[in-house]
Amino acid sequence: ENALDAVDGAEALVIATEWEEFANVDLAVVKEKMTTPIVFDGRNLFDPSTMAKVGFRYHSIGRTPVTPD
């Protein structure tokens, strides 16, 4: 139904769109719903340092992967 439903129980998240629904999601809630907080961002939608602070292992295109702080 929505972006948060899509990540419920997910082991990884692959971002392949820049839709506002995904760009404006509450990242802390996304992490809480996932079983393993790993994100592969094919659109460079999020800031790597923000993703690390929230607690994600974050991989994006052309940028250094980050791990949780």
* Tens place of pLDDT per residue across the chain (69 aa): 788 999 999 999 999 999 888 889 999 999 999 999 999 999 999 999 999 999 999 999 999 999 998
Residue 60 confidence (pLDDT):
98
Q: How far apart are CA 40 and CA 52, in angstroms?
A: 13
Q: How far apart are CA 7 and CA 43, in angstroms?
A: 17
